[in-house]
Amino acid sequence: MKNRDILITLYGLHVIWTGLWRSIQAAEYKPNALWFCLTMGLIVISASFLYRKGKQRIATIIAAAAANIILIFYAIEFISKASTEANFRVGLIILSSIALLVTIFLPKNSNPTEDH
């Protein structure tokens, strides 16, 4: 898929925004949310740069690992702390993590003449 690196960069920015959104939502500084999301977002963004450089295998491993960590973390939060963490912010990051994993593992076009 062309422009996979752009989609992964947008996902990384969305992860960072999720950490900022937690502090905005709580109306106080939440360092754990901020630093977790900042770190994971930057890891995902670094994978997008590796895609751009043509290092497909390592980029896929890094992006998939980060997305899985994010997905598992937020799914556990969503289920175990449903009274406080079952909200739009957490649901959106779960859905976007699943979408990123689907994007990463979509099969490539087998016929290069049909590539637009």
For 53-88, write each residue's pLDDT tens digit. Answer: 999 999 999 999 999 999 999 999 889 988 777 788
Q: Which amino acid is at 60?
A: T
- Report whether pLDDT(1) > 70: no
Q: Angle 56-80/88-105 helices, nearest 10 degrees?
A: 150
Q: Angle 4-26/88-105 helices, nearest 10 degrees?
A: 170
Q: What is the DSSP letter of 81?
A: T
Output phi, psi for 3, to 5 deg. Answer: 65, 20
108 within a domain of the structure (yes/no): no
In angstroms, the CA 63 to CA 48 distance is 8
In angstroms, the CA 49 to CA 9 distance is 8
116 within a domain of the structure (yes/no): no
85 within a domain of the structure (yes/no): yes
* C-beta of residue 67 within 8 angstroms of C-beta of residue 44: yes
In angstroms, the CA 89 to CA 54 distance is 33
Residue 76: domain span: 4-101
19 within a domain of the structure (yes/no): yes
44 within a domain of the structure (yes/no): yes
Q: How many domains does the chain have?
A: 1
40 within a domain of the structure (yes/no): yes
Stretch 33-48: mean pLDDT? 94
Structure confidence at residue 29 (pLDDT) = 85
Count of residues in the chain: 116
29 within a domain of the structure (yes/no): yes
Residue 114: pLDDT band (50, 70, 90) is low
107 within a domain of the structure (yes/no): no
